[in-house]
Structure 1
Amino acid sequence: MIVITAPTGNIGRPLLDRLLESAPETGEELRVIVRDPARLADAVRERVEVITGSHGDPEVVDRAFTGADAVFWLVPPDSARTPQDAYSGFSGPALRAFAAHGVGHVVGVSALGRGTPLADRAGLVTATLVLDDLIAETGVAYRALANPSFFENLLEEAGSIRDRGVFTDTVAADRRAPLVATADIAAVAAGLLLDRSWTGAGSVPVLGPQDLSPDDLARIMTEQFGRPVRYERRPLDEMRTALVGHGLDEAFVQGVVDMKRAKDQGLDAGVVRTPDTASPTGFAQWCARTLKPAVLS
């Protein structure tokens, strides 16, 4: 029995699709935790066991983890909490339930940066790495998917790209770093959840096929869309003011700012890309398949 949290998100949805595709051969039973089952396709609901509620709820995870062999763990974004509460606090009931129900294997969504001088001052990334340690301390076999920023973050910029030909971030225009498609993260997670021959705790980097800078992204988008797209660097103070103005918790906002600053200082650049850490989806391919329809619609 594999339990999937956040099954309607950018990683959970393609992960669930992969596990369902393989289920006739593997015989794996699948259980999902979801707040709103209506967000699952009818064909999916017919093939999985659905536990309704939040996976931060002790009663929900107790029900969901009963009889479970493996869990895919993803903490949902919660900008109304401090980073520590958003990650470790939310996960507290699950940490206890892993041990109480004898869950053997956990695969979690994490971040790059462990072992770098920036790891302890990287805001949300630091909170993620602390959670990795807490999960490992429960005694489960644990693999943290160490990810850079996602291609999918650019979907939030689709309106600006369409209307102004501009996307923004806070890193230097020529700062090259790994970027990854969430479907590739899902593919790695599926392999780990189905295998379960691994033991102990460790990180699995998922780095995409190449490092790219914002200027590289602008060039590729210009080629894909057939019209100019440019990058504008946004000051961190401006971003902080805007996020606080939207009512986000000030400690959470500081966590975002610290993460962005660390990324601009090279947080994601510490892992060497190898055939094992590279993932296949390139930005041009993702752009044509996912971003272009969103921008040009």
Structure 2
Amino acid sequence: MIVVTGATGNVGAHVVKELADAGAEVRALTRDPEAARFPDGVEAARTEDLPLEGATALFLHAAVVWQGADKLLERAKEAGVRRVVTLSSSSVLEDTDPQDNPIGALHRDLEAQVERTGLEWTHVRPGAFAVNAFQWADQIKAGDVVYGAHAGSHMAPIHEADMGAVAARALLADDLVGKTPELTGPESLTFADQVRIIGEVIGRPLRYEEVPPEVAREKMIGGFMTPEIADSLLRVFEGTVGRPQPISPEVERITGRPARTFAQWVADHAPAFS
């Protein structure tokens, strides 16, 4: 039995699908099991109940357990879980303690908690999520211009399905135990590139217009983001202006197929921008 936290989320849903397709026994944790839709044979359960009985492996989504990892990991050991696969972040820097950015620090703290259990572990470390482009959806629906900071900032956005495929492999096979695969998409794109590609896929000419960082910051912290995280992200964006990002080969090495392009991601989510 493999337990998947955050099973209806962007990544967790793909982990569930990959495991189910492989014939694994899956228990998918979600806040609302009655409303969730999973592949046939997948057991749905409430996250808050921590139903880990009979589980041998656990997919741990960082966003689900920021405040409760210790309790969950303790229950996992008691239930006989042998392996934990953590969805972490490439913001975690090797050989850096403490981490020098708040995003890396949050994820490294979770990784360390997992390692202290003595269980087998794999920390999947994706870079920029392609789903971050959803932040522009409302602007794109309203017009042909996206406003934001640092138009020339480079990212290598990764499709959530590729993260799910790597995580599922780590849960099912032994070759990634003790590893920290860093994942990227197959191409380095500026924010302006990404907006242009969205336009090409949905059939509208779109452009990205740069605004001062302080203006972008106010919009970022107007939602769920803390000022510390917003400032950290803006520093990252500024630091990658004009600097194409290294492309990791790990998705293809681990899954046996190339990482999906950003254009493929847009095509998979086109209704969100229309």
Partner in structure 1 of residue 57 of structure 2: 70
Partner in structure 1 of residue 105 of structure 2: 126
Amino acid at match of 1:203: T
Partner in structure 2 of residue 165 of structure 1: 144
RMSD over aligned CA atoms reads: 3.0
Contact kept in structure 2, 1:11 and 1:182, CA below 8 Å: yes
Deviation at 1:144, TM superposition (A): 1.1
CA 1:243/1:160 → structure 2, altered by over 3 Å: closer, same or farther?
Answer: closer
Contact kept in structure 1, 2:162 and 2:260, CA below 8 Å: yes
Contact kept in structure 1, 2:152 and 2:190, CA below 8 Å: yes
Which secondary structure state, in structure 2, belongs to the residue aligned with residue 280 of structure 1? coil
Deviation at 1:134, TM superposition (A): 1.7
Matched, 1:152 2:152: no
Cα distance in 2 for partners of 1:116, 1:258 equals 20
Kindly report structure 1 stretches of 4+ aligned residues shifted beyond 6 Å.
Answer: 116-119
Amino acid at match of 2:228: Q
In the TM superposition, what whole-angstrom CA distance separates every residue of 1:133-171 from its partner, at most 9, and x where no partner exists? 22112111111111111111212322211222233444x
Deviation at 1:198, TM superposition (A): 4.5
TM-score (norm 2): 0.84
Q: Any stretches of 5+ residues in structure 1 without a counterpart?
A: 55-59, 78-85
TM-score (norm 1): 0.78
Matches within 5 A, 1:109-120: 109-113=87-91, 114-115=93-94, 120=99
Cα distance in 1 for partners of 2:97, 2:153 equals 16
Name the one with the larger helix percent. Answer: 1
Which secondary structure state, in structure 1, belongs to the residue aligned with residue 80 of structure 2? coil
In the TM superposition, what whole-angstrom CA distance separates every residue of 1:58-117 from its partner, at most 9, and x where no partner exists? xx23xx22221100111337xxxxxxxx72x33121232233333211111111132387
Which secondary structure state, in structure 1, belongs to the residue aligned with residue 157 of structure 2? strand
Contact kept in structure 2, 1:15 and 1:186, CA below 8 Å: yes
Deviation at 1:2, TM superposition (A): 0.2
Contact kept in structure 1, 2:129 and 2:160, CA below 8 Å: yes
Percentage of identical aligned residues: 25
| Residue 253 (structure 1) aligned to one of 222, 227, 234 | 227
Q: Any stretches of 5+ residues in structure 2 without a counterpart?
A: none
Contact kept in structure 2, 1:210 and 1:282, CA below 8 Å: yes
Matched, 1:33 2:29: yes
Partner in structure 2 of residue 283 of structure 1: 262
Amino acid at match of 2:89: A
Matches within 5 A, 1:72-111: 72-76=59-63, 87=66, 89-111=67-89
Matched, 1:191 2:169: yes
CA 1:294/1:116 → structure 2, altered by over 3 Å: closer, same or farther?
Answer: farther
Contact kept in structure 2, 1:180 and 1:206, CA below 8 Å: yes
Partner in structure 2 of residue 220 of structure 1: 197
CA 1:118/1:173 → structure 2, altered by over 3 Å: closer, same or farther?
Answer: farther
Cα distance in 1 for partners of 2:97, 2:234 equals 11
Size of the alignment, in residue pairs? 268
Per mean C-alpha deviation after superposition, the further-off stretch among 235-244 and 123-132 is: 235-244
